Structure 1
Amino acid sequence: MRILDLIGEATEYDKKETLEERRPKSWLKSVSAFANGIGGALIFGVTDNEELVGLSDSKDVSEKISEIIKTKMDPIPRVIMEICEEAGKKFVVLKVPTGVETPYYYIGEGNRTAFIRVGNQSIPAGTMDLKRLVLQGSNKTYDSLTTQYKYENFAFTKLRSVYKKRAGQELEESDFTSFGLTDVNGMLTNAGALLADDSPIRQSRLFCTRWYGLDKASGVMEAIDDKEFSGSLVTLLQSGEEFVKNNSKKRWKKTANGRLEMPDYPERATLECIVNALIHRDYLELGSEVHIDMYDDRLEIYSPGGMYDGSIVQNLDTDRIPSRRRNPIIADIFNRMNYMERRGSGFKKIKGDYHKEFNYKNNLEPKFYSDKNSFWVTLFNLNYDVPIEKDEKVAIESEKVTIENEKVTIDNEKVAIEKIYTKCVNAGLSNIMIDRITAFYGFSGDDLIFGRKDIAEYLKFSYSNAGKVIVSMKRANIIIEVVGKGKGKYRFKV
């Protein structure tokens, strides 16, 4: 193994020219950070400028490293030590795998300090970092922790209805415990609390803004649309998806076999990004929320918390990122509802959806960015600054005509209902009866021929009560009897 090759291949490594016995913190902080994160390697005998100077006594250095780790680290991390030789010089390579008993502390100067890796630096872990490490070391996740909330005090209407629709089966009472949404005593876990209709976890919110222009700079008009959503994660997902749809367009052009649709943003890619933002976010970050910011040329989604393993996504091959889930219980529920897959192929799928679109170009590939506390994904508007072709203009005009016709129809229906309402009021009918009559008119319109049975079925009434509705309609002079269709048949007249 060549030392420079190791430096080139390792995503996390530090180098030391010599072993600093009197200043063990200078290198043990990296041991702590590697064990608390995704692992890494320390190479002794290499300068900061990556000059290979070697060690005078590599065996002695390796023995001292082992002894210092045993006395200055708690718990003692698993390490792999190798003595390598290159160009007649010897080096010690200290490999530190990801630890399973986090947090790993450096003990010195009367303190216990856990370190984490940020970029190429090892820094002291903050309060939130320590909470995450403690959960990791106890083999627990945030969504698995039991809350103070009782299952019986919360409703799960949205979760039940969407689960039935997408999974094709009822969500049974026993499923709440087997899926990890409640414990055996009927108390909600954080996963259960996040999926309740009125979620008590207040940092579970979604802020959506459609900005005017290409940035957030103040101007005559800052935001075209602005929404804030709270509640069940299922509600947040559907609301976010709806917000994007309402603030984007779908162009289309005629083809020999029909028409080719050209959305601003591929629907599947958008859904995948919103799902990932809500499921994989860090809920330990109090006072934080997911943001969807739409501009003329792009859509940006922000979620609290970086990559779960501490890695930096822009430094990775996003086609080959292994699946590590910060909130596995929530992820499992969304997988059961077919909103995501277990394979961890989200990044690749998002890019693949873009590659298939008609207006896709290489500079429009989705971008992913993360740091220690945050994650962003940028989806580019495929139709931004793309000229509209002649046949597209015709298609757009056709759609405008269709929409205008629909508007006229709706307006006519509103006028008719208002006339019926006025006649009912003038006839002295009660408000309850007026509501029943206008509701039935909205169902039947002017053309439907109906009788007592139709009214009874629609309003879920008895025949006698349906008869009273017909009497009231006659009193308001809004129906006429239809001859030749059987006894007691009517239709509305406006």
Structure 2
Amino acid sequence: MTFRVDFRAVDLLELLRRPEGKTLEFKRDLSSPAGVVKSVVAFANTSGGVLVIGVDDGSRHVRGVAEPLDLEERLANVISDQIAPRLVPEIEIIPWRGTHVVAVEVFPSPIRPHYLASTGLDAGVYVRVGSTNRRADPDLVEELRRYARGEAYDEQPLPELDSEAVDFRAASELFAPVRKLRRADLETLRLLTVHQGRTVPTVGGVLLFGHDRARLFPDAWIQAGRFAGTDKSRLLDQAEIRSHLPQATEDAIGFIQKHSLHGVEIGPVRHTDRWSIPPVAVREAVINAVAHADYRQHGAPIRVAIFDDRLEVESPGLLPFGLTVDDLHRGVSKLRNRVIGRVFHTLGLIEQWGSGIQRMTAACLDAGFPPPLLEEIGIRFRVTLFTTRVTAPTMDETDRAILNALTENGGLTSEVAAAIGLSTRATRTRLARLVERGLVREIGTSPSDPRRRYYPAT
């Protein structure tokens, strides 16, 4: 008997090396078609995935299937009959050491949400959360619809409010260091929008600068804590940061800086306290959490937790549909909140679209720290930055010369420039990079303070 086989699309050996998760599931057989259908729906609604039939999900033992062609036909019929709108995944028969398995490759669907035809749209929509399928609540179903329409939640109008719900004075004060804000800019930035002939605030407008944000979005704030040791058994300090989101971002970063995040570098003779985590990585982690949080969710704010060995920044919401953690490492990004992203970009909080994770990773590696750990935990997303160096920082001769020029008394830019033979401007740029990587500390009244002094971060 000859089977139709495609060796290129699915690499079974590579799949067997991976754990089950957001985009992969193993099934021993097709004895329970309902579970298979739920997985196919969840993959299509979330980020796509591969379902392999003929493999024990616990042991990864490849049992194979007895009649792969019959199974392929049965699968195609089950998927066609039991899922709406109709899905047509790739079904492949893959040979394996004298037997065969059947793989169903599901791509992220442009016509979300898909659902079980037997239970309907209200109760039959599933999404992938880790290695499980979760039934979507009405808010998540509406999010899937918005995604299919190319809309963002924070662009939605709030017709029950009027334009004065956005605090123009607060917005103007936060924009003042960048530019003068005009009332017409509120519509350009989509803080306000026209809905049925009336100018009303958007969700993003209220989240960013709303007078009544606390009532409408009670979880749009940042909970920050400093814990003793490496768990949450003893809290040393905490803050509830409820300022407007652009200011809340800076306040959260300030809380982290306040606790100085000193880690330990293990040396051959003694342990040396070192300033840990590059500031640029801290900023990116906090800004990304605020800009990408799912503000539809209720019950938990954005959380910043500082431990002796790490910093955790956690925000509500799965990754945007169609996105995986591996995509983030490759620099792929999808902005969940376009209004917040647009305002943060204008304020200079977001420098370059889609580069935050890569910039965070590069800063950690250059400074000798492990790369950030990115995780979807339930329906939340967490970034963990570790505070113990595992390698020596990456430095060239100029970097070393700067560190050698800095003493316990610190140095002005002009003094460092004279010591290393570079211009003041070039030295200032070098110093800024060393500060971002956590190798140098700076102390001054403002970024433009001419008497700003730089110190080795030890």
TM-score under structure 1 length normalisation = 0.64
Deviates more, 1:81-90 or 1:333-342: 81-90
Aligned to 1:337: 347
Aligned to 2:268: none
Distance in 1 between the 2:210 and 2:50 partners?
Answer: 47
Deviation at residue 282 of structure 1 after TM alignment: 1.3
Q: Is the 8 A contact 1:269 1:349 kept in 2?
A: yes
Deviation at residue 327 of structure 1 after TM alignment: 1.3
Distance in 1 between the 2:245 and 2:127 partners?
Answer: 30
Aligned to 2:414: none
- Asked if 1:366 corresponds to 2:372, the answer is yes
Aligned to 1:217: 233
Q: Is the 8 A contact 2:374 2:382 kept in 1?
A: yes
Are residues 64 and 340 of structure 1, via their aligned partners in 2, closer, same or farther at CA, if it must alter by over 3 Å?
Answer: same
Deviation at residue 292 of structure 1 after TM alignment: 2.0
Aligned to 2:152: 141
Aligned to 2:383: 377
Q: Is the 8 A contact 2:112 2:148 kept in 1?
A: yes
Deviation at residue 289 of structure 1 after TM alignment: 0.9
Q: Is the 8 A contact 2:154 2:202 kept in 1?
A: yes
Distance in 1 between the 2:308 and 2:386 partners?
Answer: 9
Distance in 1 between the 2:17 and 2:177 partners?
Answer: 47
Q: Is the 8 A contact 2:38 2:126 kept in 1?
A: yes
Aligned to 1:479: none
Secondary structure in structure 2 of the residue aligned to 1:146: coil
Distance in 2 between the 1:347 and 1:93 partners?
Answer: 32
Secondary structure in structure 2 of the residue aligned to 1:30: helix
5 Å matches for 1:374-413? 374-381=380-387, 395=408
Distance in 2 between the 1:249 and 1:14 partners?
Answer: 39
- Asked if 1:174 corresponds to 2:184, the answer is yes
Cα-to-partner distance string for 1:364-393 (whole Å, 9 max, x where unaligned): x4333322312222334469xxxxxxx999
Aligned to 1:190: 203
- Asked if 1:125 corresponds to 2:173, the answer is no
Q: Is the 8 A contact 1:40 1:97 kept in 2?
A: yes
Q: What letter matches 1:36 in structure 2?
A: N
Deviation at residue 85 of structure 1 after TM alignment: 5.0
Aligned to 2:307: 295
Aligned to 1:70: 80
- Asked if 1:7 corresponds to 2:4, the answer is no
- Asked if 1:282 corresponds to 2:294, the answer is yes
Deviation at residue 46 of structure 1 after TM alignment: 4.6
Which of 236, 239, 252 aligns to 1:240? It is: 252
Q: Is the 8 A contact 1:204 1:289 kept in 2?
A: yes
Q: What letter matches 2:349 in structure 1?
A: Y
Cα-to-partner distance string for 1:405-446 (whole Å, 9 max, x where unaligned): xxxxxxxxxxxxxxxxxxxxxxxxxxxxxxxxxxxxxxxxxx
Aligned to 2:114: 104
5 Å matches for 1:349-364? 349-357=359-367, 360-362=368-370
Deviation at residue 309 of structure 1 after TM alignment: 3.4
List gaps (5 residues or longer) in structure 1: 252-261, 384-390, 399-494
- Asked if 1:32 corresponds to 2:41, the answer is yes
- Asked if 1:42 corresponds to 2:54, the answer is no
Distance in 1 between the 2:97 and 2:262 partners?
Answer: 63
Cα-to-partner distance string for 1:167-197 (whole Å, 9 max, x where unaligned): xx43333332233222123111111111116
Cα-to-partner distance string for 1:294-325 (whole Å, 9 max, x where unaligned): 33443322222232238664xx3753141022
Distance in 2 between the 1:249 and 1:105 partners?
Answer: 47
Q: Is the 8 A contact 2:72 2:91 kept in 1?
A: yes
Which of 214, 221, 231 aligns to 1:205? It is: 221
Are residues 9 and 77 of structure 1, via their aligned partners in 2, closer, same or farther at CA, if it must alter by over 3 Å?
Answer: farther
Deviation at residue 98 of structure 1 after TM alignment: 0.7
Are residues 81 and 276 of structure 1, via their aligned partners in 2, closer, same or farther at CA, if it must alter by over 3 Å?
Answer: same
Which of 268, 282, 286 aligns to 2:280? It is: 268
Deviation at residue 231 of structure 1 after TM alignment: 3.4
Question: Structure 1: which 4+ aligned runs deviate by more than 6 Å?
Answer: 391-394
Are residues 94 and 351 of structure 1, via their aligned partners in 2, closer, same or farther at CA, if it must alter by over 3 Å?
Answer: closer
**Structure of higher RCO (CA pairs closer than 8 Å, 6+ residues apart):** 2
Distance in 1 between the 2:356 and 2:78 partners?
Answer: 43
Distance in 2 between the 1:46 and 1:207 partners?
Answer: 44
Q: Is the 8 A contact 2:29 2:53 kept in 1?
A: yes
Q: Which has the higher helix share?
A: 1
Distance in 2 between the 1:170 and 1:371 partners?
Answer: 41
Deviation at residue 36 of structure 1 after TM alignment: 1.0
Distance in 2 between the 1:173 and 1:319 partners?
Answer: 39
Are residues 100 and 199 of structure 1, via their aligned partners in 2, closer, same or farther at CA, if it must alter by over 3 Å?
Answer: farther
Aligned to 1:456: none
Which of 304, 308, 312 aligns to 2:316? It is: 304
Distance in 1 between the 2:410 and 2:359 partners?
Answer: 34
Q: What letter matches 2:379 in structure 1?
A: N
Q: Is the 8 A contact 1:143 1:328 kept in 2?
A: yes
Are residues 287 and 84 of structure 1, via their aligned partners in 2, closer, same or farther at CA, if it must alter by over 3 Å?
Answer: closer
Question: Sequence identity of aligned pairs in percent?
Answer: 25
Distance in 1 between the 2:360 and 2:11 partners?
Answer: 37
Distance in 2 between the 1:205 and 1:109 partners?
Answer: 37
Distance in 2 between the 1:88 and 1:375 partners?
Answer: 42
Q: Is the 8 A contact 1:44 1:55 kept in 2?
A: no
5 Å matches for 1:83-102? 83-84=93-94, 91-102=101-112
Distance in 2 between the 1:336 and 1:146 partners?
Answer: 21
Are residues 8 and 327 of structure 1, via their aligned partners in 2, closer, same or farther at CA, if it must alter by over 3 Å?
Answer: farther
Q: How many residues align?
A: 369
Deviation at residue 394 of structure 1 after TM alignment: 8.0
Secondary structure in structure 2 of the residue aligned to 1:241: helix
Distance in 2 between the 1:322 and 1:338 partners?
Answer: 21
Q: Is the 8 A contact 1:25 1:106 kept in 2?
A: no
TM-score under structure 2 length normalisation = 0.69
How large is the RMSD of aligned CA atoms in angstroms? 3.7
Q: What letter matches 1:4 in structure 2?
A: L
